[in-house]
Structure 1
Amino acid sequence: MIQSLFDFSGLSLIEFSFRGATLVIIITSFMALYRILIGPKRSDRILGVNVLTNNVIVILVILAFLTQNYTFIDAATVYVLCAFIGTLSVLKFLVYDRGS
């Protein structure tokens, strides 16, 4: 499956664009991972995690269109809800931690 992601021969323009966008998103995911690991503040790490989860969601949606298996969109929806609830809980924890 990963080899087929990087094989650009004989593709339509839309498939070529989706695969190129996936490669760009993978690169930005590594940049977000750097921000998570090296970020000097908590807010930098939270922002990096949010960027990384958004990139995973977009990759799932692109993968759904490339493979025409639309159950990936359902998985992306569940992942969106979990990421949102996780971000809210972390921020609530940080607000209570600062108040103490």
Structure 2
Amino acid sequence: MGAANSQAYSAAKAGVANFTRSQAVTYAPQGIRFNAVAPGYVNTPLLQTLPSDVTDSMVAKMPVGRLAEPSEIANVIAFLASDDASIVTGAVINADGGYTAQ
């Protein structure tokens, strides 16, 4: 998603996504998988220091109506690292409560 004055952030996100895909293709023949997780707003101690109107604004942008918990992001990572995801490579998983689906 594009946003005003976020050129560096946008370029970095695109770089991670394309790096992930390139590495996945390069190393798949060796059985090495590359994936990335793109979390949305996560309920961390840092976010808890922000004024409530700021976090309320974040939550208002999320279709699920709440911040992600760190354990939810960890569960996505654990899945990608597991044998259950053995066919998954080159993926960027948006664990963002539907934010980028809008």
Larger RCO, structures 1/2 (Cα 8 Å, 6+ apart): 2
TM-score for both structures, normalised by structure 1? 0.45
Q: Which has the larger radius of gyration?
A: 1
TM-score normalised to structure 2 length: 0.45
Please identify which structure carries the higher strand content: 2
**Higher percent of residues as helix:** 1
